Amino acid sequence: MRLGLIMLLLLGCVHRVELRSKTDVVDARAVGSEVRLTLAPGAARLVREETAGHVGDRISLVVDGEVASRLRVREAIVGAEVKLTVDSPAEADALAHKLMQR
């Protein structure tokens, strides 16, 4: 059983949020240029705490040791439903697939 590791890294900082795709990511679907992500309750709480103080900062989304996307925190993530906006529908499809690898 392979557990994927997802990290949100603040660029230029040591700050990160680590999630395990097997237990923390419930669902990830591409819709146009967005990835709609559903997190387990514990993961949602962790992401809320970590994003609340970093609105406007750029982060890297790291999956299994690779940077999967670079994002800007537009607002604190306060629930289990998360929208990640990327540059294209193809990038959204690839990111959703990577997030759901089990």
Domain 5-100, architecture per CATH: 2-Layer Sandwich (3.30)
44-56 per-position pLDDT tens digit: 888 888 788 888 8
Dist CA 27 CA 44 (whole Å): 13
- In this predicted structure, what is the pLDDT of residue 29? 95
Domain residues of the chain, as ranges? 5-100
Would the pTM count as exceeding 0.85? no
- In this predicted structure, what is the pLDDT of residue 90? 96
16-29 per-position pLDDT tens digit: 666 666 778 899 99
Burial class (CB in 10 A: 0-12, 13-18, 19+), 1: exposed
Taking 50 as the pLDDT cut, the residues of the chain under it are 1-5, 11, 14
